[in-house]
Structures are given as C-alpha cells and as structure tokens.
C-alpha cells in the first residue's frame, strides 16, 4: 500500500525497528512507549489522526512478571489494543495487531491452525488473547491479527544474543529440548507484514512465524554453528530444570494455511534465516 501513511507503535523495539526499515520510502511514523501511551484512548485518538495503517507492535511482554501483574499487562495488551482498533475503525484505517503463540495451551500435537481454539495458560497469553478478541470485535473489516513467536533480531535482547553471550563465557550451555517452536527473524516478519498489507489478502488471522520447527536446543545449536561457536557445547536438558512463574507452551508450532489461501508464500525456513542473519552481519558473531 504505497501513498499511505503508516503508524508503528512500540517504536524502538526489535520488531518495530525492522518494520520501519521495511517501510523505507513510505510515509512512516514510529512512536515509542514514552511517546504514545496506548492505554489512553485520548492519546491514541490524537496519534492515529491522519494515518491509514496502524501496526501495533506495542505490548507488555514480560511473561513471568505478568503472572503477578496481570492487570497491568491487560491494560497494554487488551485495553491498548482495543483503543487502537476502535479509533482505527472510526477513522477507516487498517490495523495490524501483533499477537503471540501464547494464546494457545501448547498441549496439542502438530501445528496450530489459525482458527484453532485459544486456550492460554499464562497471564500474558490471556491478555494477548483478549486483545485479539477486542480488536476483531471493534474492527472486524479492517484488522489483521499476526501471531508470531520465538522472535530474534538485530535490535534488542533476545534468545540468540543471550546464547552467544553465554557461549562466549561458559564451556557449555544447557538448553531445553521439550519445547517446540519456530525461531523467527524480526526482519523476515517485518517484510512479511508489509507483503500482507500490499496484497489483497482478506482481513483476519495469520501466523507470522518461520517455516519448519525446532526445539530451543536446536535453535541454540544453530546460533552456535552460524555464530562461530562449537554447537557441541550446547547440551540438552528439559523444562523441569528451568521452572519459571509462567508456564511455557510445549508446542508453539503454528500453521500457515492462511498465507497460502491468500496467495502469499509463508516465511522461509528458520535455519535459512539464522544463517543469513549471521552471514550478512545483521547478527553479530561471537
């Protein structure tokens, strides 16, 4: 959609930064949390004025903290998302609401379809699922829900950077093998969202994750391999060794049927993206 005005919330974050780059050459405004409090409908109404497309990358993402601060998380992930959708509907603007695999229980086998029932097990997942519901209720004819997972990238802290840092300091690193997902490069996701907006795809739910699947152990080994460390220094363990306040989905693999039905290619295989990230220098080697 060229010739339109785009607003990105959550500016300065890992995905928002790559979105701004993917939209280079277009009329783009990116607002950080300090610049736009999406929990204030008045602030949202002022910020959205004059924009045709709003990509909501703002979120409360402290998964463990949300277990004891669910109301705070809900203000951003549910109320904030609702504010954006309501004002966008008033203005006739399009919304992209970035969501998460945590809306599912993670107990099922195989990839989750876009229309699978949500059953979040964590406070974070509940607030994000509520945000999805509110967006679709407020603006059903102008909203995309893009669920993603296991994000890593050049900007901001993430699993890949953590693994490289640990691998540079320790003789070995233990990583779980019993959680499955799709490591997703934020640069790939940003370009996929732009392709979605530039297409004639119907509004609704899309799964913005890389193709293929991996455990965190597999992901860590790939980071070591392409990042210049010995992958044999990554040792397998289970989730029982890393008990956290918020339950993690055992299965975060998301299906990509909606892309195909819309005539768009799903994102490439996760290993190809990790390899390119390091070979191009977008991801720093150890």
Q: Which residues are catalytic?
A: 124
Neighbours of 133 (CB within 10 A): 16
Whole-angstrom distance, CA of residue 276 vs CA of residue 188: 11
Using CA atoms, how far apart are residues 178 and 39, in angstroms rounded to an integer?
36
Distance between CA 46 and CA 37 in Å, rounded?
11
Distance CA 59, CA 33 (A): 9
C-alpha 210/C-alpha 189 separation (Å) is 8
The CA–CA distances, whole Å, from 10 to 103, 120, 124, 206, 281 equal: 20, 23, 17, 20, 25
Nearest-angstrom CA–CA distance, 53 and 29: 10
Are the beta carbons of 175 and 141 closer than 8 angstroms? Answer: no
Q: What share of the chain is helix, strand, coil (3-state, %, to 5)?
A: 40, 20, 40
Any idea what the Cα angle at residue 99 is, between residues 98 and 104, rounded to 5°? 165
- 12: exposed, middle or buried (Cβ count in 10 Å: 0-12, 13-18, 19+): middle
Can you tell me the distance from the alpha carbon of 239 to that of 177, in angstroms, rounded to the nearest whole number?
Answer: 8
């Amino acid at each position: 959609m060229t010739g339109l005005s785009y607003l990105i919330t959550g500016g300065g974050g890992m995905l928002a930064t790559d979105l701004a780059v993917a939209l280079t050459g277009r009329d783009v405004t990116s607002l950080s949390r300090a610049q736009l409090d999406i929990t204030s409908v008045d602030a949202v109404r002022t910020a959205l004025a004059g924009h045709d497309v709003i990509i909501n990358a703002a979120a409360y993402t402290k998964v463990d903290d949300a277990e004891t601060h669910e109301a705070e998380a809900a203000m951003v992930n549910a109320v904030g998302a609702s504010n954006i959708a309501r004002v966008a509907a008033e203005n006739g603007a399009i919304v992209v609401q970035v969501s998460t695999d945590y809306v599912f229980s993670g107990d099922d086998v195989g990839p989750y379809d876009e229309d699978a029932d949500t059953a979040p097990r964590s406070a974070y997942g509940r607030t994000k699922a509520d945000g999805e519901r509110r967006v679709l209720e407020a603006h059903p004819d102008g909203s995309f829900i893009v669920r993603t997972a296991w994000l890593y990238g050049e900007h901001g802290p993430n699993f890949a950077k953590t693994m490289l840092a640990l691998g540079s300091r320790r003789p070995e690193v233990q990583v779980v093998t019993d959680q499955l997902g799709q490591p997703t490069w934020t640069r790939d996701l940003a370009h996929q969202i732009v392709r979605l907006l530039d297409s004639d795809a119907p509004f609704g739910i899309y799964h913005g994750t890389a193709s293929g699947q991996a455990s965190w152990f597999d992901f860590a080994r790939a980071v070591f391999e392409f990042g210049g460390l010995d992958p044999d220094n990554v040792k397998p363990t289970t989730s029982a060794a890393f008990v956290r306040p918020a339950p993690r989905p055992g299965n975060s693999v998301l299906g990509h049927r909606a892309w195909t039905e819309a005539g768009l290619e799903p994102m490439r295989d996760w290993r190809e993206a990790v390899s390119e990230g390091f070979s191009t220098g977008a991801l720093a080697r150890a």
